[in-house]
Structure 1
């Protein structure tokens, strides 16, 4: 059995891609832990215009119900840019491992993601309570 994370197909809006890449290009963020993983996720994503994003996809500023399959826990997370990650446990930066893991996933999709200690966690998107694109907020 491989320890490589399972990587389902993901979909990212062109606006989210542009903004995340601009952050990754900032000198103080180029080499943050996880930058390479986030870049790899973006490189494998299908990119669409914001108006073309289906309502069941986790995009930036989306609020999703996420199930940690291994722990049997469910929680609500809002995927935010680093500057909005203010310590609120309900907000997760796209630069955090769980943030880059859920970006672009659809309801029902799962992903295995490495956590400290070399273990893998399986995360599944159970629902999306708010998605900017589905709400008509295409340039948030």
Structure 2
């Protein structure tokens, strides 16, 4: 089971359309990817939901380009957060239906999240920069 460690869960914000679509995605994926779907559903449930027209500078939204740091290794990655059909790891397009994608959604620049992967590994990620989707 993927778990966000409660004492490390920063507040997150999602646009209304993303919250609705991500909630539906989590439901559909529950049988095939139960741990990640459950984690994603929990993140959607705890998010502050903003109107679709609200500017969310510095917040990781769907189709945002972002740079994050894996706090265990210190390595930085530049990626675009996408829905599963658009995912292409080699092109830096990571799915929101992965443990890392689900952890990053809704975070703001400077925020960190610690979570446990399905294999029991503890990971911590910090968002360094975000470009709003076009």
TM superposition score normalised by structure 1: 0.83
Structure 1 SS opposite 2:17:
helix
> Aligned Cα RMSD in Å?
1.8
Structure number, greater radius of gyration: 1
Once the two structures are TM-superposed, the CA of residue 115 in structure 1 deviates from its matched residue by 2.9
1:73 aligns with 2:67: no
Extract unaligned runs of 5+ from structure 1. Answer: 136-140
* Residue 122 to residue 75, structure 1, CA distance change in 2 (3 Å): same
Counterparts of 2:74 and 2:120 in 1: how far apart (Å)? 19
1:131 aligns with 2:132: yes
Aligned to 2:92: 90
Counterparts of 2:72 and 2:81 in 1: how far apart (Å)? 21
Structure that is richer in helix per residue: 2
Greater relative contact order, per chain length (Cα 8 Å cut-off, separation 6+): 2
Runs of 4 or more consecutive aligned structure 1 residues displaced over 6 Å after TM superposition? none
Number of residue pairs matched by the alignment:
128
